[in-house]
Every structure is written in C-alpha cells, then in structure tokens.
Structure 1
Amino acid sequence: MRRVRYESTGSPLFLEQTTVPEPGPGELLVRCEAIGVTLPVVRKVTEAAEAVPLGGEIAGRVVAVGAGATRFGVGDRVTGLCFGHGYADYALLHEAMASSVPDTATATDAVALVRSGLVALGALQAAQPEPGEAALVTAAASGVGHLAVQLARARGAERVVGAVSDPAKADFVRSLGADEVVVYADDDWGDPVDYVLDAVGGDLLAPALAALGPGGRLVAYSSGGGTIQAYDLLVGAKSVVGFQMARIAREEPELYERWRQELWKLFGEGVVTPAVHGEFALTEAAAAHAAVEARVNQGKVVLHP
C-alpha cells in the first residue's frame, strides 16, 4: 500500500510503499476513502522534535477486525481519529474512536463533519451559551470554525460574528449564517459579544478578549499558545476556559458519543453542513498541507487515496 510520511522536522512529505498493517486488539483496519488534514498535524511536521506518523480523521470501509472489537464488522462504513499513520491507503482505527457513517453521507462529509464538528461543539459547550447571546468565532472559515459558526446559531445565538485573517473569506463566512465578519487586523471588532470561541491563540488572544462584553467568556482551544494579562480579566469580570477534545474522548466517552450523534442529527436535518475547500490526491499531500499552513482554506481540506 501507499503511505505518506517525512524523515525529519521540516523535511518534505513523500510517498512510500509499505505493507498493509494488521489490526491489533480492539482495532479496525480501514480502507481509507477520505482523510482530513488538520492544522495540528501540519504543525507537527514543521515543529515536532522528531518525525511522527501523519494521523488525523479518516473515513472508509472496514476490511479487517482485531481481537475484541465487536461494534463493527467487515464492510461497515466508519469514520474516526487515527493516531498512527492515517495518510495511507489503509489505516488502523481504534474501535473506541470510530463511529458509523450514515448512508446519506459521503466519506468526505464524514471527515469534514465529525472530528472538526466535535471540537467545535465541545468548545461551544464549554462557553455555556444561552439563547439570545452574541458569539464571535475566530478562524471562522477553517475546518472547525465554519462548523462552529453554524453550531453557535443552532444553539440559539442571536448574533454571530466571524473573525478571519483575509477579507476574501467574508462572503464564505456570511454564507454560513454569520451576521458580521471582521478581519483580525481591524482596529474595531464591532459591538461586544457574550462569548468567543478562539482557535488561533497567540497575538489574537488580546483582541479576542477585548471583544467580550462584561461577564463574557473566552474559550481557548488553539495549539497556538499566547498570554493573557490577569488585569484584562478583572476589568469586566471576564473569564477564560481551555478546551481539549482529547480529554473528552479519553475521560468522557459517553459524552463524546452523544456529541457525535448530535452532529449526525444536525447534519441529517440540514442544520449543519460541512464545507470542503479542496480535495487532493494522496500524492498531493504537500499541497494540501501548504493550503492549511497558509490558512487559505475555506472549509475542510481533504485527501483522497
């Protein structure tokens, strides 16, 4: 089979031939039909101390089942987060991380919706939104952000603001249901909001916090770091909470599954629609990474073996 990997930090991606892996206990061997490209994985290629497997969201059909795996069988359509080599014709998926793909959805729908949607839904839940509030979503055109805009509306936000790096993304974000779109470089982000879902971090934390009204909540779920001054929290009695999807998957599997089911329900009702920016062949993995790293994508970037 074919697999994409790299030799060392910052080195080019390349395609290699290797053997099809055997599923271990509790694992599913999946013939990949779609693979989601995420910013955390892209960052690992350029920043990790040593080369790591290119994992991420995968979707496809089960072709073999490991010992002890009982929820899925050969031929089932599944999607989930692969922690090993996912940029490949075949990948191993732990059964606990897998969910069924309904007949009404494509593999591309699955990788664009489930993992990114879980992060968006979890971050939104951490904000404890109330109907009628105003929300601001940073990276609003990204794989996670474009779903967060839709979910905030579905959870009762009266006003949704999308924040983007490039004004060229404004029409796309408005098409998702955002009432307003601001650009990071703008001096004024408009009227205050009740909560911010921040996927960027770094230097953007300060303006994101400033966008909050009194008592506002900032949910930080970015791997981009950043620092907040305590005084900026005291003024206006604002709060910040961190959200990490991996903790939910590891420690609260029942909640994780409920969120997955909610996403598929909203998808089936047409309330949430995943958007795909670009679909690349496995041989074009470097180009897919470049699109995500440059933050030009409007929706999810997907690889197709």
Structure 2
Amino acid sequence: MRRVRYESPGGPLFLEDAPVPEPGPGELLVRTEAVGLTLPVVRKVTEAAEPIPLGGEIAGEVVAVGDGVTRFDVGRRVTGLCFGHGYADFAILHEAMASAVPEAASAVDAVALVRSGLVALGALEAARPEHGEAVLVTAAASGVGHLAVQLARLRGAARVVGAVSDPAKADFVRSLGADDVIAYTDDNWGDPVDCILDAVGGDLLTPAIAALAPDGRLVAYSSGGGTIQAYDLLVGAKSVIGFQMARIARGRPELYERWRVELWRLFSEGALRPAVHGEFALEDAARAHEVIESRSNLGKVVLRL
C-alpha cells in the first residue's frame, strides 16, 4: 500500500510502499477514502524531536476486524481519529474512536464533520453558554472554528463573533452566521463577550481575556500554549477552562457518542454545513500541509484517496 512518511523533523513528506497493517484486539482495518488534516499533526512534523506517524481523521470501509470488536462488521463505512499512520491506503482505527457514516454522507463529509465537530461542540458545552449570551470563536475559519461558529448560533447565542488571522476570511465567516468578524491585530475587539472558544493560544490569550465580560469564560483547546496573568482573571471574575477531546473519548464514551449522534442529526437536517477548503491527492500531502501552515484554509483540508 501507499503511505506518507518523513524521516527527520521538518523534513519533506514522501510516499513509500508499506505492508498493509493487521488489526489487533479492538481494532478495525479501514480502506481509507478520505483523511482530514489536523493542525496538531502538522505542527508536530516541524516541532517534534523525532518523526511521528501521520495520523488524522480518516473515513472509509472496514475490511478486517480484530478480536473483541463488536460494533462494526466488514463492509461498514466508518470515520474516526487514527493515532497511527493515517495518510495511507489502509489505516488502523480503534473501535472506541469509530463512528458509523450514514449512507447519505460521503467520506469527505465525515472527516470534515465528526472529529472537528466533536471538538467544537465539546468546547462549546465546556463554556456553558446561556441562551442569549455572546460567543467569540478564534480561528473561526478553521476546520473546528467554522463548525463552532455555526454551533454557537444553533445553541442560541445572541451574538457570534469570529476572530481570524486575515481579514480576507471575513466574508466566509459571516456566511456561517457570524454577526461580526475581527482580526487578531485589531486594537478593539468590540463589545465584550460572555464566552470565548480559543484554538490559538500563545500571545492571543491576553487580548482574548480582555475581550471577556465580567464572569466570562474562555475555553482553551489549543496546542499553542501561552500564559495568562492571574490579575487579568481576578478583576472581572473571569475563568479559563481547559478542554481536551481525548479525555471525553476515553473517560465518558456515552457523552462522546451522544455528541456524535447530535452532529449527524444536525448535518442530515441541513443545519450544520461542514466546509472543505480543498481535496488533495495522497501524493500532494506536503502541499496540503502548506495550506494549514499558512493559515489560508477556509474550512477543512482533506486528502482524498
């Protein structure tokens, strides 16, 4: 089978021939149809001390199952987060991370919707927004952010603000239902908001905390790090909540499944519209990474096999 790999940190991505893996206990072997790229994996290619397997959100058909698998049979179409080699013709997916793909949905729909949607929905629930509050979403044009903007509106936010790295993304974010769009470099982020869903971190945390209304909540789900001054929280009784999807998947599988069901329901009703920036061939994985690294994507970046 074909597989994308690299040999040194920051090194070029290349295609290689590799044996088809065999599923172990609790695992599915999936013939991959689409791969949704994730920012953490793209970052690790340049930042990790050693090369890592290129994982991501995969979708395709189950062609073999390991011992103990009970939820999926051969021939079933599934999607989920692959922690091993996902940029490949065949990939291993753990049963606990797998979700069935409805017949009416494509593999591209699945990788654009499910994992990114789970993060967006989970971060929104962690913020505990009340009906009528204002919500700001950073990285609002990203794979997660563009779904978070829509979900905030569907969950009853009175005002939804999208924050972006480039003002050229404003029209796209407004098309998702955002009332206002700001650039990170703007001196004034407008009226205070009650909740912020932050996928950026780093230096952006300071203006984000300043944009919160008293008693406001910022949910941090970024791998970008950053530092927050305690005084900036104290003066407005503001709070910061960390959110990690893996903890939900491992520790609260019933909640994980309920969120997946809700995402597919909203998709089938036409209320939630995943956007795909572009579909790249497996051999063009490096070019797909460049789109994410340049922060130029509007929606999800996908490899199509």
TM-score category (smaller protein): over 0.9
TM-score, structure 1 as length reference:
0.99
Q: How far apart are 1:186 and its partner, in Å?
A: 0.4
1:168-183 maps to which residues of 2 (within 5 A)?
168-183=168-183
Structure 1 distance, partners of 2:139, 2:96, is 29
Tell me by how many angstroms 1:103 deviates.
1.1
Displacement, 1:117?
Answer: 0.4
* Equivalent residue, structure 1, for 2:25: 25
In 2, Cα distance between equivalents of 1:105 and 1:295? 27
Match of 1:6 in 2: 6
Instruction: Tell me the residue number matched to 2:68.
Output: 68
Other-structure match for 2:50:
50
Q: Kindly provide the amino acid, as one letter, of the partner of residue 28 in structure 2.
A: L
1:188 Cα deviation from its structure 2 partner: 0.4
Report SS of the residue matched to 1:78: strand
Please give the alpha-carbon distance, in whole angstroms, between the structure 2 residues aligned to 1:64 and 1:236. Answer: 55
| 2:141 partner amino acid | A
Paired with 2:248 and 2:181, the residues of 1 have a C-alpha distance of 30
Quote the residue 1:221 is aligned against.
Answer: 221
Aligned position for 2:267: 267
The letter for the 2-side match of 1:214 is P
Secondary structure of 2:41 counterpart: helix
Within the alignment, does 1:79 sit opposite 2:79 as a pair?
yes
Q: Deviations over 1:197-235 (max 9, x none)?
A: 000000000111111111110001000000000000011
The 1-side partners of 2:8 and 2:244 are apart by: 27
Aligned-partner SS, 2:214: strand
Amino acid at match of 1:140: A
Q: Which amino acid aligns with 2:63?
A: V
CA deviation after TM superposition for structure 1 residue 270, in Å: 1.2
For residues 121-140 of structure 1, what are the structure 2 equivalents within 5 Å? 121-140=121-140
1:292 maps to 2:292:
yes
Task: Give 1:304 deviation, angstroms.
Answer: 1.1
TM-score by length of 2: 0.99
Give distance in 2, aligned partners of 1:19 and 1:274.
33
Letter in 2 for 1:151: L
Q: Which AA in structure 2 matches 1:76? A: R
Instruction: Name the counterpart of 1:254.
Output: 254
- Cα deviation per residue 1:26-56 (whole Å; 9 max; x = unaligned)? 1111000000001000011001110110001
Paired with 2:105 and 2:181, the residues of 1 have a C-alpha distance of: 30
- Which AA in structure 2 matches 1:38? T
Structure 2 residue runs of 5 or longer lacking an equivalent are: none
Q: What is residue 36 of structure 1 aligned with on the other side?
A: 36
Per-residue deviation, residues 62-106 of structure 1 (Å, max 9, x unmatched): 111111111111110100011100000000101111010001111
For residue 116 of structure 1, what is the amino acid of its counterpart? S
Q: Describe how 1:206-245 pairs up with structure 2 within 5 A.
A: 206-245=206-245
Post-superposition offset of 1:290: 0.6
Residue by residue over 1:250-290, the C-alpha shift from the partner in whole angstroms, topping out at 9 and shown as x without a partner, is: 11111111111111111111111100001100000000001
Which secondary structure does the structure 2 equivalent of 1:301 belong to? strand
SS in structure 2 of the partner of residue 53 of structure 1? coil
Q: CA deviation at 1:119?
A: 0.4
Structure 1 distance, partners of 2:160, 2:303, is: 30
SS of the counterpart of 1:91?
Answer: strand
Amino acid at match of 1:181: V
For this pair of structures, how many residues does the alignment match?
Answer: 305
**In the aligned structure 2, how far is the partner of 1:177 from the partner of 1:110?**
22
Between the aligned partners of 1:248 and 1:219, the Cα distance in structure 2 is: 15
Identity of aligned residues (%): 81
Which one-letter code corresponds to 1:92 in the other structure? Answer: I
Q: Which runs of 4+ in 1 moved over 3 A?
A: none
3-state SS, counterpart of residue 214 of structure 1:
strand
Shift of 1:238: 0.6
What are the Cα deviations for residues 154-206 of structure 1, in whole angstroms up to 9, with x where unaligned? 11101000000001100000000000000001000110100000000000001
Q: Distance in 1 between matches of 2:186 and 2:264?
A: 36
- Mark the runs of 5 or more structure 1 residues left unpaired by the alignment: none
- Aligned ranges for residues 134-213 of structure 1 at < 5 Å? 134-213=134-213
